[in-house]
Amino acid sequence: MEVEMKIRGLMVDPVTNTPIVLLKDIGSDTVLPIWVGVYEANAIALEIEKVTTPRPMTHDLIKNVLTGLDALVHKVVVTELKDDTFFAVIWLEKEGRVVSIDSRPSDALALALRMDCPIFVEEQVLKTSKQASNLSERATADELRKLLEGLSDDDLGKYKM
**Complete DSSP assignment for 12-81:** E-TTT--EEEEEEETTSS-EEEEE--HHHHHHHHHHHTTPPPSS--HHHHHHHHHHHTT-EEEEEEEEEE
pLDDT in tens, 118-137: 999 999 999 988 755 544 44
Percent of the chain with pLDDT over 70: 81
pLDDT (0 to 100) of residue 84: 87
Fold of the CATH domain 2-151:
Bifunctional nuclease domain (3.10.690)
Length of the chain: 161
Q: What is the pTM of this model?
A: 0.81
pLDDT in tens, 33-50: 999 999 999 999 999 999
Give the residue extent of every domain in the chain.
2-151
